[in-house]
Structure 1
Amino acid sequence: MSAAKTEDGASRRTSRLRRHLAISTHALRQRPVNLAITFAPADPTVPGPTRLGFAASGASLEQLRPDPLRMDMALHQLSRMGVSILSRGSFSASAQLAPDNFEKLFGTRLSRFRTRGDRPAFLFPHDGGPWSPQDDIARLIDDAYIQWPATPMTTPPAPIGAFGPDRVYLPNDLANLLNASGPAVRGMSGAGVRVAMVDTGFSLDHPYFLNRRFSVLTAPGADGTRDRDGHGTAMCANLFAIAPDIDFIGISLGLPDGSVPIDALHGGILLALAHQPDILVLSIAYDLRSDITDLEAERLPGSCVALALQLQNAVARGVTVVCAGGNGQFAFPAMLPEVIAAGGCVVDAGGEVRASNIASGFRSNIYPGRTVPDVCGIAGSLEKQAYLMLPCPPGSWLDRSCAGLPDGTGVNDGWCFTGGTSAAAPQVAAVCALMLQANPKLTARDIRSVLNRTASDVAFGTSSAMTGGRAATIGNDLATGFGLVNAGACLHLI
């Protein structure tokens, strides 16, 4: 591969970053902001969910449940004030509002912000700035937070020389590594199990998805189902490698210009849950890292409260939620105690399984006693970022950027080598689908228990240095949780 092609790949990555940075504040103010609206609990003696002073858990969830009729009345009044209501759940609603109108209704000023990593700019009230909602607004709702852009939990394209011959090809290699092929899975293929995924988009006309059962929808606040980024298409391929006959629902967060601000995640999750999935998988996360200490923040940001309530309620209602545990991030929503957090492992050419030094491993400050991850999938490592061969839309950012480094694939061939806990989460979710096909009566708690009890222990390697570089040891640990998910053992136990 020529040096010119390598430089071309680097320039593409730079161009992508510059495209995000080049969005002017004026241009941002021409776009509506996506809001997550929370409501006061039905019990007037209970503080609203953003005013609790602590992160709600399953035990306090019912105390925070709003009255549905009051929610209806509030949403009706908000719509008369110019707020576009996009979707609603049991605890929150997704909405859009022009920045100027947001400032007027909430008595504030919006400033330009950027979060960590290669994420686009967005508008948000400045710390310490004015916040004085109109009286009518204050009576109707608990709060309304502009949604920050989230981050796909895939690895960045690998540098030259960071991969060897021991790569993982889908579907067979991955199925073998997770004991999800042949007699071990007893003919289970995920048939009849509905799995939803919210991501950058899903261009499932790729030959890899031929004869698969899927539908793709656009999240409220997004525009279009096509996946110009490539992340959603590539990561959902892991589902079909383990559970090829699932009924898949993809919720797209993409925009028509190819950018993926992913600030429509809350609305996308509400839409996904409205379709009553058995399993919801998220390979996108927020990094709740303090800008002051560079460690995990001490409290849940108000902008994440609505999302936390909806996911906790989904689990209480029987949905199994699997989240990427992070690639060096203090990942939310993986840190929610109710969800299954997927960490990462890497398998060398000799078959030894090690903790991935890409994947996060941490003990949460926000949710005391919660550790991430629970179990692991196959994610690669810093040395082997170009690890899993995944299908992606030809010419998408992922296709072009990975090939430009190079990874051995073409810039427009619809294949890329990558990894991360973005891939591990759908792998774990697919094993959950096999279990639900075998025994539809399993609860989310049952599934978590079976995953933990049957995972193959990993006692070598360390997790990401960005979250403390935890060492894998015998038994449950902060590097790999209970170990690498084992599909055959799960099915044998149930």
Structure 2
Amino acid sequence: MEESIPEVAMNPQLENDLLIVRKIVSIGTGIMLILLAGFLYSVIVGDSLSFVKPRDALIDSEDAYQDLIRMPSGLTGKGVKVCVVDTGIELDHPDLEGYELKGWTDVVQGKTNPYDDNGHGTNMAGILIADGWLDGIAPDVDLYVAKVMQENGSGYEEDVAAGIDWCINMNTNIISLSLGGAPDILPFLNSGGRTIEDAVADATTRGIFVVAAAGNDGGEDDDGDVASPGGERRVICVGGVTQSGGPWAKSSIGNNGGSLFPFQLPRNDPDKKPEVVAPAKEVPVLNNKGTWSSSSGTSAATVFVTGAIALLLEQNPELASNGTSSDVSTIDQVKDWLMQTVSPQESQSGHDNKYGYGLLDIQALLDKAIES
């Protein structure tokens, strides 16, 4: 005969508490499953979270822009020394994993380890050297970075000049100056020290290519000329286009006819400003938080041209400032090739004050160098 086990009465309060706990656990489990399903869907389908990979739209945009400027295969910028003067660089990013800078200087705070407390410098460097979900124009260049701008985007002209001087002392081949075309960078403060124009003149005299942004004040607020130092004769000044190849509305125009105030002589070919245009609207970039996004500005366009020159110098090392034939005339020669190989707008004849001589065509530039 089996003995019955007497039922033990549960405390009503305890039973109610357990019921509440079960409900909380069920709800929490449901939320976790929903989040997990969304995460897996985003990874598999492609519209992923920014800290996992860039959105498909960014990858597609990068492909479209690289097709637009006829990005070649087989060249990576290897052996070419490029110096980016900006807000710094954050190397802790999936698309920069394992990348080693060749040189770093911090004019602002004097820190010995690379950092970017603003983000713009990382945006620009990624266009050049990203090697992951996004692909830079010249990922194998020897990169030097000079931090010259503060966290809020302000800075002093003599600090920028000091950064350029450092690039010169590092014997770099190309100096990339996107600051004039950065969307949130404030005007440089001048305290009477060495000017950016002085430093740029020293660089070009040594045969170092200097690429600079035209600026982003196009439209009603345009001041009538490109941003400094893009107006300097031997600087390659870069305006912006959209993904369709049309001019980006905010890209600054050049004043090439001369003026009395401020005094400026008329500019001649191949030095009319801007010389060339490149991708500027919603360009895919790396962020200093380890994520991805897009950025608009002639600052981005500048880096595309910097990358193009790096590929040119890899193909034709004799053109580099540490090569056998590089001097001021080499810069003039490359600028002439740019003028001849860019793609003008339909019905465009000669130089356009907004569109320059035309849209960057990297493959045509490389072909021209081989023919010459």
- TM-score interval w.r.t. the shorter chain? 0.5 to 0.7
- Please tell me whether residue 363 in structure 1 is matched to residue 255 in structure 2: yes
SS at match of 1:332: coil
TM-superposed deviation, 1:253 = 2.4
2: distance between equivalents of 1:191 and 1:423? 21
> What one-letter code is carried by the residue in structure 2 that aligns with 1:449?
D
Per the alignment, residue 316 of structure 2 pairs with: 439
Structure 1 pair 343/205, CA: closer, same or farther in 2 (3 Å)?
A: same
Per the alignment, residue 199 of structure 1 pairs with: 86
> Which of the two has higher C-alpha Rg?
2
What is the percentage of aligned positions where both structures have the same residue? 28
Per the alignment, residue 124 of structure 1 pairs with: none
Structure 1 pair 318/169, CA: closer, same or farther in 2 (3 Å)?
A: farther
Q: CA contact under 8 A between 2:85 and 2:146: conserved in structure 1?
A: yes
SS at match of 1:393: coil
2: distance between equivalents of 1:193 and 1:488? 18
Per the alignment, residue 15 of structure 2 pairs with: none
Task: Select which of 403, 412, 420 maps to 2:297.
Answer: 420
2: distance between equivalents of 1:181 and 1:208? 21
Task: Select which of 332, 341, 344 maps to 2:237.
Answer: 341
Offset from partner CA, 1:214-234 (integer Å, 9 cap, x none) = 245233343433112110000
> What one-letter code is carried by the residue in structure 2 that aligns with 1:379?
A
2: distance between equivalents of 1:174 and 1:208? 19
2: distance between equivalents of 1:304 and 1:355? 36
Per the alignment, residue 69 of structure 2 pairs with: 178
Q: CA contact under 8 A between 1:253 and 1:260: conserved in structure 2?
A: no
Offset from partner CA, 1:115-164 (integer Å, 9 cap, x none) = xxxxxxxxxxxxxxxxxxxxxxxxxxxxxxxxxxxxxxxxxxxxxxxxxx
Unaligned runs of 5+ in 1: 1-164, 288-300, 381-386, 395-412, 461-472
Aligned length: 271
Q: CA contact under 8 A between 1:200 and 1:229: conserved in structure 2?
A: yes
> What one-letter code is carried by the residue in structure 2 that aligns with 1:433?
A
Structure 1 pair 368/459, CA: closer, same or farther in 2 (3 Å)?
A: farther
- Please tell me whether residue 489 in structure 1 is matched to residue 359 in structure 2: no
Q: CA contact under 8 A between 1:212 and 1:244: conserved in structure 2?
A: no
Q: CA contact under 8 A between 2:61 and 2:284: conserved in structure 1?
A: yes
Per the alignment, residue 213 of structure 2 pairs with: 324
Per the alignment, residue 98 of structure 1 pairs with: none
1: distance between equivalents of 2:107 and 2:117? 18
Task: Select which of 388, 392, 413 maps to 2:287.
Answer: 392
2: distance between equivalents of 1:424 and 1:232? 14
SS at match of 2:77: coil
Offset from partner CA, 1:170-190 (integer Å, 9 cap, x none) = 7544322211133xxxx2211
Structure number with higher strand proportion: 1
2: distance between equivalents of 1:167 and 1:416? 7
TM-superposed deviation, 1:259 = 3.5
1: distance between equivalents of 2:243 and 2:59? 9
1: distance between equivalents of 2:61 and 2:101? 19
Q: CA contact under 8 A between 1:203 and 1:226: conserved in structure 2?
A: yes
> What one-letter code is carried by the residue in structure 2 that aligns with 1:261?
S
Q: CA contact under 8 A between 2:181 and 2:298: conserved in structure 1?
A: no
Structure 1 pair 239/367, CA: closer, same or farther in 2 (3 Å)?
A: farther
TM-superposed deviation, 1:265 = 1.1
Q: CA contact under 8 A between 2:177 and 2:213: conserved in structure 1?
A: yes
Q: CA contact under 8 A between 2:180 and 2:299: conserved in structure 1?
A: no
Structure 1 pair 311/484, CA: closer, same or farther in 2 (3 Å)?
A: same
Structure 1 pair 438/459, CA: closer, same or farther in 2 (3 Å)?
A: same
* Cα RMSD (Å): 2.6
Q: CA contact under 8 A between 1:282 and 1:324: conserved in structure 2?
A: yes
- Please tell me whether residue 478 in structure 1 is matched to residue 353 in structure 2: yes
> What one-letter code is carried by the residue in structure 1 that aligns with 2:296?
G
> What one-letter code is carried by the residue in structure 2 that aligns with 1:195?
V
Structure 1 pair 459/212, CA: closer, same or farther in 2 (3 Å)?
A: farther
Task: Select which of 136, 155, 162 maps to 1:262.
Answer: 155
Structure 1 pair 219/269, CA: closer, same or farther in 2 (3 Å)?
A: farther
Q: CA contact under 8 A between 2:62 and 2:284: conserved in structure 1?
A: no
2: distance between equivalents of 1:239 and 1:449? 23
Per the alignment, residue 142 of structure 2 pairs with: 247
